[in-house]
Structures are given as structure tokens and as C-alpha cells.
Amino acid sequence: REMYYSPDVSKDPYYIPGVKEAKSEVCFPLMIGERLIGVLDVESPEIDGFTPDDIRILSTLSAQIAIALENARLYEEAKRLSLTDPLTGLPNRRSFGIMIENELRRAERYRRPFALFMMDFDNFKSYNDKFGHSAGDDILKKFSNLMKETIRDVDFLGRYGGDEFIAVLPETDANFALVVAERIRKKIESENLEPPVTLSIGISVFPKDAREKQKLIDLADHACYEAKEMGGNRVNFAGV
């Protein structure tokens, strides 16, 4: 983890050939604290091609490069965390907002349908009250994975908040939406928890039910509310 200088690479048993014209090479570890994150490798077409001043400048540059790379990594990590639900690892509500805008533009342009699911677990509070929040968190993580396994790779599944989840299924009309929703509902029901935790699903379809983002969300949310009012563990379409 220190600077390495090879004034004549032809005599260096550790040299790994890079640039064909290279005659000398200097390498600097890119360090963040005690952590090695990369290597800056500079080669010269001349034997002993680096002066002490060159090495000092490159050493300073390598430190700046390490900091820049670490800052970029931290920025990407912060961005990822801002779009991800920390409990389930699913996209969060903010991520959904970005995704639905893109899907609306695509669907409008190509005049294609998509379905929006608003999903809410039935009796989840009772389960939480009986077994505690840690057990409730475990169930949310497990059910998140079950739902994700049930939909296609092109479909979006996110946590909307609490025990509410939202899904967007591109290229999906009402008939196919019902097939997928029932598959998800039955998957959750088959876990046979006690007290029972099941799933109510409200569905709106673009453009049949609405063309605006908030209207589609509100319709699916209301359909989900109606499903719960009817006893839960069911699929309900907007306007039905």
C-alpha cells in the first residue's frame, strides 16, 4: 500500500505489460483511510522517466483522485438510499413517483395500457400487536419477496408506506391485471398466518380509468379501501 516505482520495467519481474512503449512505471495506491479503493498507474516511454517532482505531483494527484472516487461512491449510495425502502429493499414512494411519470409518458406515446395496484395487508395491526414490531417487520420483508417473485421483471413493485405497497404493470389490461393480482393475493393467503394476514388489492387501468397520475392512484387506493370494507382478501377494480 505504498508507492511503487520501476525505473526500468524490462528488469522488473513484477511488471505486468501494459502500454507497448512503456520503459518505466510508477504506481500509487488510492487510499481512503486504511482502505485501498484502487491504483493509479502511470507509465513513461523513457527509462527512469519520472523525476522526484513528477512523483510528488502524481502522489498529490492520487490522493485527490481517491477522494473524488469516494465522494462519487458516497453520492451514488445516498441517491440509492433515498430511492429505496430500508426495511424491504424495495423502491420507495419517491422512486415510484419518478417511475410512474416515465410510464405515463411511454404509455401515452405508444397508446399502450398499464395497470396500477394499490395493496394493503389485512389484519396486519393485529399480527403486530400479538407478536411485536420486529415480527411484523419480518413479515413485511417476507411478503415483499413473495410479491416480487410473483410479478415480471418489467413490473414495478414498491413500498408506498406502512403496510401499503404499490405496483405498476406495463403492457397490462384489466384481464391480465386480474390474473396477476389473484396470483399475488393467493400467494399471501397461502402463508396461513395466525392471526391471518391477507391482502386487499385495488386496481386502476390506464387509460380506461384515468390518464392522470394522481387520479389513477386515487382510484386504485379507493378500490383497495372498498376491498377491505368488503372483508378483505380480495381484488377490486376501480369503478366496480
- Catalytic member of 85, 120, 122, 163: 163
What are the distances in angstroms from CA 136 to CA 89, 141, 185, 197?
16, 9, 18, 10
CA distance linking residue 224 with residue 194, whole number of Å: 22
Q: Are 1 and 36 in contact (CB under 8 A)?
A: yes
8 tagged catalytic: no
C-alpha cell at 65: 483522485
Cα torsion for 97, 101, 107, 110, to the nearest 10°?
A: -150
Picking from 11, 5, 13, 10, the residue whose alpha carbon sits closest to that of residue 22 is 10
How far apart CA 179 and CA 164 sit, in angstroms, is 20
Q: What is the CA radius of gyration of the chain?
A: 28
Give which of 1, 66, 58 is closest to 24, Cα–Cα: 58
List, by residue number, the catalytic residues.
163
